[in-house]
Amino acid sequence: MSVMKKILSTVAVTATFFAGAAQAEDMRIALVVKALGIGFFEAAAKGAEEAAAELGDVEIIYTGPTDTTAEGQIEVINALIAQQVDAIAISANDTDALVPALKKAMDRGITVISWDSGVAPEGRELQLNPSSSPLIGNMIIKLAADNLPDGGDVAVLSATTTSTNQNVWIEEMNKVAGNYPGINVVATVYGDDLADKSYREAEGLMQTYPDLKAIIAPTSVGIVAAAQAVTDAGKIGEVNVTGLGLPSEMAGHVESGASKSFAIWNPIDLGYSATMLAYNLAKGNAEAAPGAEIPMGRMGTLTLDENTEGAMADPFVYDASNIEEFKSIF
Amino acid sequence: MIQRFLKSREAILLAAIFALTALIWTRFPGFVEPANLARVFNDTSPLIILAMGQMVVILTRCIDLSVAANLALSGMVVAMINAAFPGIPIPLLLALAVGMGAVMGSINGLLVWKLDIPPIVVTLGTMTIYRGFIFLISKGSWINAHQMSPAFKDLPRADLFGLPVLSWIAIVVVLGFLLLTSRTALGRSFFAVGGNPHAAVYTGINVGRTQCIAFIISGALAGLTGYLWVARYAVAYVDIAGGFELDVVAACVIGGISIAGGIGSVGGALLGALFLGIVKNALPVVDISPFWQLAISGGAIIIAVAFNSGSLRSKGRVILRKAEHTA
């Protein structure tokens, strides 16, 4: 297995080396992903290519290990250092394990940023988060409100009572709930990320609140189960299910109308933004320091906080118009 | 006869279920509407089916902790087949699910029978193995609603004389087990093996074989439920029905199936499952803080089991007192 892995990564590295040699004058930005062959990252690579085409003088090296290990990524990073690429944008398999290798890269003058899954601050210049808790909190209630022009009762179906992510998002949602007049958040229930419990909780919500207009489920198990419960209760059109989910998992429920729209990050935008940021840093157009604002093309600018982290944008909204395109991606 | 029934565990449980339902009614009157009760029964059907299989296993002094993993693996396999070849008729997939479940059950059974490994160890092992297999075959990805054919998803919810097919399957399984446990030699041998394995051997019952058959029955029902589960929730992934084996064992224990084997009834297991099902379905509508819900369902189990052991203990005392008198 490990021999096989070595051979495979050597082949990958050799391939990228030759590709790199062909156009030496361009800026070479390596997009390092958790593992090759994952739809989400293939889509990010598509976004990176889009950015490269827009910038003109950029060549993208899309690479990564064959399985999601930190060791595999370290090998890839060392190979990229040997090739003297101009920038590395990485989605890390481990927050700390990659730091020494990435430090070495930075010592050689390579611009290093992390995106999606971050690296500890000493191993990168900045971290690009797909979104931020306040943006997500606002987005999930906005999705419900957008389909309720006259207002109405909405309820939240979360994961477990102790899920950090979901609790923070719901907290942020409640902070901005006042901006959506007429929308009453009547309850928060917990489906424990189990299909059967989430389904039952969704049924319970529809019984307890007969006028319920929307269920907001910021969890991928919950949103699918709630959509199925609404379908089985014959309440498609009356109760809209929204929240955070994956296009591949929600396609059927968007088609049936149980969910009018939902959100999650857009991997294409993420790859695009990571490339733009790496380009601007490597060119010296911007400096990665707390409070800095770094342009990222059509995605606007990234504002860095005290940990040199920044949030790209609102989660991307998926609905009947684009679900077909994205359901095969991730 | 009536007096004996009133003292029986089933009667107590039935009274507890009525009391519970009345309590829920005071907080949420809609709960006792016939349509809602039918919905609760339907929601509890998978638990009832699995509790029947678990009952015969526990009767023979064994325990099957792999039912939920078996369910998940069978469900994932039929979901993947349906996604890849939507043309395969549903009865064939149903038979495949039952067959796969039975094979997985027989692995448990053979390990217990031929290698004499304690059932809790065997099924704890196969539980993780079966879950692991799901990950291997699915690579961790989901089979989603739009990948399943409409026929695949519609069977459990199809309406037949006012009840969904899922409910009817549970009813048929319960009736089947009533016949099995009261009218067949195999059914009686489950009790004999659990009650007194040594005596069972002298009556010509092969203890290991009977236990193995109990595991196969439990496995086959888990396979059947696997299909029903993924079709009902229209999704299959690695963790479906995670931890459900404990609900199944709890239903049996609440229903008075003795973990020590040999004691229990179909009615008890049915009522135990219904009790749990009612608690699970009532908690979301009676407006109790979610932080309390787990504590409440756990408390209900402890109280039910305390009742059970209490009633058994008093029986022991009676015998002792009689013995004192004769001496």
Residues A284 and A257 in one domain: no
Question: Are B303 and B94 spatial neighbours (Cβ–Cβ below 8 Å)?
Answer: no
pLDDT bracket for residue B224 (50, 70, 90): very high
**Domain contains A319:** no
* Residues contacting A327, CB < 8 A, separation 6+: A247, A248, A251, B146
Please spell the DSSP secondary structure of A3-18, one letter per residue. HHHHHHHHHHHHHHHH
Question: Are A84 and A282 spatial neighbours (Cβ–Cβ below 8 Å)?
Answer: no
Q: Does A224 touch chain B (CB under 8 A)?
A: yes
Sign, CA torsion A67/A71/A72/A73: positive
Q: What is the pLDDT of residue A23?
A: 46
Q: How far is the C-alpha of B60 from the C-alpha of B155, rounded, in Å?
A: 34
| Contacts with B39 from chain A: Cβ below 8 Å | 203
Q: Does A40 touch chain B (CB under 8 A)?
A: no
Q: What is the pLDDT of residue B324?
A: 52
**Nearest residue in chain B measured CA to CA from A187:** B287
pLDDT tens across B100-151, in order? 999 999 999 999 999 999 999 999 999 999 999 998 898 878 898 889 999 9
Domain that holds residue B270: 44-283
**Domain contains A321:** no
Å between A17 CA and nearest CA of chain B: 31
Å between B240 CA and nearest CA of chain A: 7
Residues A126 and A139 in one domain: no
Q: What is the pLDDT of residue B38?
A: 93
**Nearest residue in chain B measured CA to CA from A255:** B146
For range B78-87, the mean pLDDT: 94
Domain that holds residue A190: 133-264
Residues A260 and A137 in one domain: yes
**Domain contains A224:** yes
Number of structural domains (chain B) is: 1
Q: Does B285 touch chain A (CB under 8 A)?
A: yes
Residues A30 and A141 in one domain: no
| Contacts with B144 from chain A: Cβ below 8 Å | 224, 248-252
The domain that holds A199 is classified in CATH as 3.40.50.2300
Residues A117 and A77 in one domain: yes
Digitized pLDDT (tens) for each residue of chain A, 330 residues in all: 455 555 555 555 555 444 444 444 789 999 999 888 777 888 899 999 999 999 989 999 999 988 778 899 999 999 999 999 999 999 988 888 899 999 999 999 999 999 988 888 999 999 998 888 889 999 999 999 999 988 899 999 998 887 778 888 999 999 999 899 889 999 999 988 888 999 999 999 999 999 999 999 998 889 999 999 999 999 999 999 999 988 988 999 999 999 999 999 888 999 999 999 999 999 888 888 888 889 888 888 888 888 888 888 888 899 999 988 888 877
Question: Are A13 and A76 spatial neighbours (Cβ–Cβ below 8 Å)?
Answer: yes
Helix (H) or strand (E) holding A326: helix A323-327
**Domain contains A325:** no
Residues A256 and A276 in one domain: no
Which of residues A224, A244, A264 is at a domain's end? A264
**Nearest residue in chain A measured CA to CA from B292:** A161
**Nearest residue in chain A measured CA to CA from B232:** A228
pLDDT bracket for residue B309 (50, 70, 90): low
**Domain contains A324:** no
**Nearest residue in chain A measured CA to CA from B164:** A232
Q: How far is the C-alpha of B281 from the C-alpha of B41, rounded, in Å?
A: 10
Contact B233 A252 (CB under 8 A): no
Residues A196 and A222 in one domain: yes
The pLDDT of residue B190 is above 90: yes
Q: How far is the C-alpha of A124 from the C-alpha of A104, rounded, in Å?
A: 11
pLDDT tens across B253-291, in order? 888 888 888 889 999 999 999 998 998 888 888 877 777
Q: Does B241 touch chain A (CB under 8 A)?
A: yes
Best probe of the B interface among A188, A196, A219, A262, by most B CBs < 10 A, is A196
Best probe of the A interface among B31, B146, B232, by most A CBs < 10 A, is B146
Number of structural domains (chain A) is: 2
Å between A189 CA and nearest CA of chain B: 7
Contact B235 A194 (CB under 8 A): no
Best probe of the A interface among B47, B144, B167, by most A CBs < 10 A, is B144
pLDDT tens across B97-114, in order? 999 999 999 999 999 999
**Domain contains B2:** no
Q: Does B39 touch chain A (CB under 8 A)?
A: yes
Q: Does B28 touch chain A (CB under 8 A)?
A: yes
Q: How far is the C-alpha of B93 from the C-alpha of B224, rounded, in Å?
A: 10
**Domain contains B244:** yes
Neighbours of B158 (CB within 10 A): 11
Q: Does B149 touch chain A (CB under 8 A)?
A: no
Best probe of the B interface among A249, A253, A330, by most B CBs < 10 A, is A249
Helix (H) or strand (E) holding B299: helix B290-326
Tell me what ipTM this predicted complex has.
Answer: 0.78
